Chain A
Amino acid sequence: EDKVVQSPLSLVVHEGDTVTLNCSYEVTNFRSLLWYKQEKKAPTFLFMLTSSGIEKKSGRLSSILDKKELFSILNITATQTGDSAVYLCAVVLTNTGNQFYFGTGTSLTVIP
């Protein structure tokens, strides 16, 4: 059975800290891994990773994929209270169209 596991389940940090969120997967026919941020309702897109070892960056956020060890990490540096959200990892397979397999998410709380 295809599985996506995120850790930790929740995290509380102080503003300015750096955090690393983990996503591991056990799937057949892997195509891509995506990260989303969900603050209230609609998850918003952060990164899509298809190739191993290539870091994607957007401001203070970065992410990398390791297809050999089957995991991805999402790093957030110099955290701000606005980073408080649930971070979701999703895997897309080659043979299931646009079906995304999501992990249960990591809830990040950044306190001032």
Chain B
Amino acid sequence: GESVGLHLPTLSVQEGDNSIINCAYSNSASDYFIWYKQESGKGPQFIIDIRSNMDKRQGQRVTVLLNKTVKHLSLQIAATQPGDSAVYFCAETGGEYGNKLVFGAGTILRVKS
């Protein structure tokens, strides 16, 4: 199923600290996962992706961890900066050919200076 929420969870971190954002996905058959960042008034922006044959992938300041056993995805942001403040969504592929993205409810990240 898809997540629906009236109030998004919020994570507040101090500038320079590491952030961890968690996500539970629904479809055990999904084989491709993406983290998106969405700033106010803008479209989602790709951060990092991971395929189901991996359990960890690193980018610049970001790491995604995938635990298929418990259907859990996490995004780690190192040395969080004020510009990282946004809503973060995880998404999994769905549909017959993996053509659609199924988004989680989202987490608001607030970075305090």
A, B bound: no
B residues sitting closer than 8 Å to A (CB atoms) are none
